[in-house]
Amino acid sequence: MDEVSIPRPLHLGVRKVTGPVTIDADPEKLLWKPVPWSSDFMDILGARGPKPRHRTRVKIAWTDTDLLFLAELDEPHLWATLTEHDSVIFNDNDFEIFIDPDGDFQRYLELEINALNTTWDLLLARPYWAEGPAINGYEIKGMRSAVRLEGTLNDPSDNDQRWWVEVALPWAALAEVSNQKLPPVEGSSLRLNFSRVQWHLDVVDGQYAKRPKTPEDNWVWSPQHAVDMHRPWHWGIATFHGEAPDWAEIEAGQKLGELFLAQKKHHQDHGEYSAELAADMEIKVCRTWFVARYLRWEIDQNCEFRCAK
């Protein structure tokens, strides 16, 4: 496996807020005033990709009952078409949340929202690279979302400003897919990332239409270094009690995640896993499985990241 220097994922400390929370996508609510913005989103490839055409940023807060998100998406052409829940929302311009509550690269949630507040929530048992099924029928119990538009939807005759998304994810729902205690206790963190899918639009007969043969843009908070959101080892880190992330664990997860991809490719090409892909790791292999260990952590053929026994 070639050694490639990959930057650390981004980190954001999450502020606790109090009081009842109305989800209405109003950015002027008092609860959001003291909460810091994330850095602006960048291309999914990171520094290698082009600068996004429009600004996107997010705030994260938490209460004793919910994890809260507020996203601002600058947008001169507000457009959305999908109205049925659990449609493939990224066929429209959208905002997406990915969250792995216990950071083991298993059983993580994906939520996609368009400017009509149409949602698609699903559970990934494992990343697609690990043959993980996407459970489309999964519902995030108690999830609330709202969208607010500054402009006119689906009207090419004017210029719009932006749209806002606000989401509440109950801790009780996140606890269903987590092996760690939630709400988070001191010293705990969550792995999460955000994505914005943005299509190039033309005006045809007075209506917006996707530009033919033109791929979408993918803008993210923490870069993925590939056009693939399902590499959770590159997702960002949220901490809740003022502590710093465990960077040794985060960097081990990145190295082992990339080793996992190299093993899957080697198995596809040669019909077996390899014990020789990384000189700085202990790798045990059989024809149908492998376990790779780096420092105190390990990963296997199912992409399960864990502290080594």
Predicted local distance difference test score (pLDDT) of residue 237:
97
pLDDT in tens, the chain (309 residues): 555 578 999 999 999 998 789 999 999 999 999 999 999 999 999 999 999 999 999 999 999 999 999 999 999 999 999 999 999 999 999 999 999 999 999 999 999 999 999 999 999 999 988 888 899 999 999 999 999 999 999 999 999 999 999 999 999 999 999 999 999 888 889 999 999 999 999 999 999 999 999 999 999 999 999 999 999 999 999 999 888 999 999 999 999 999 999 999 999 999 999 999 998 999 999 989 999 999 999 999 999 999 997
- Total count of domains within the chain: 2
Using DSSP, state whether 30 is helix, strand or coil: helix
Residue ending a domain, choose from 239, 255, 277: 239
**Domain check: are 288 and 174 in the same one?**
no
Task: Provide the pLDDT for residue 2.
Answer: 54
Same domain assignment for residues 270 and 289: yes
Amino acid 4: pLDDT: 55
**Within a domain: residue 4?**
no
What does the DSSP 8-state code read for residue 153? T
pLDDT of 227 reads 97
- For residue 292, what are the β-bridge partners? 283, 299
Q: Is 6 within the bounds of a domain?
A: no
Same domain, 232 and 302: no
Residue 258 and residue 225 share a domain = no
CATH code of the domain covering residue 82: 2.60.40.1190
pTM strictly above 0.85: yes
Regarding whether 290 and 209 lie in a shared domain, the answer is no
Last residue of a domain, one of 239, 262, 277: 239
Q: Where does a domain end: 239, 260, 281?
A: 239
d(CA 251, CA 6): 9
Q: Residue 271 sits in which domain range?
A: 247-307
- Which secondary structure element, helix H or strand E, spans residue 96, and what is its range? strand 94-100
Secondary structure (H, E, C), 214-279: CCCEEEECCCCCCCCCCCHHHCEEEECCCCCCCHHHHHHHHHHHHHHHHHHHHHHHHCCCCCCCCC
Question: Are residue 39 and residue 172 in the same domain, yes or no?
Answer: yes
> What's phi and psi for 14, nearest 5 deg?
-105, 130
Which residues pair with residue 285 across a beta bridge? 290
Residues 184 and 224 in one domain: yes
> Is 168 within 8 Å of 20 (Cβ atoms)?
no
CA distance 6 to 224: 10
What are all long-range contacts of 130-139, with beta carbons under 8 Å and residues at least 24 apart? 130/260, 130/264, 130/301, 130/302, 130/303, 132/303, 136/86, 137/86
The two beta strands, 66-74 and 56-62, are: antiparallel
1 domain residue, yes or no: no
Backbone angles phi, psi at 48, to 5 degrees: -75, -15
Residue 2 within a domain: no
Question: 30 with 75, same domain?
Answer: yes
Give the model's pLDDT for residue 19: 77
Residues 75, 128, single domain; the answer is yes
Does residue 146 sit in the same domain as residue 294? no
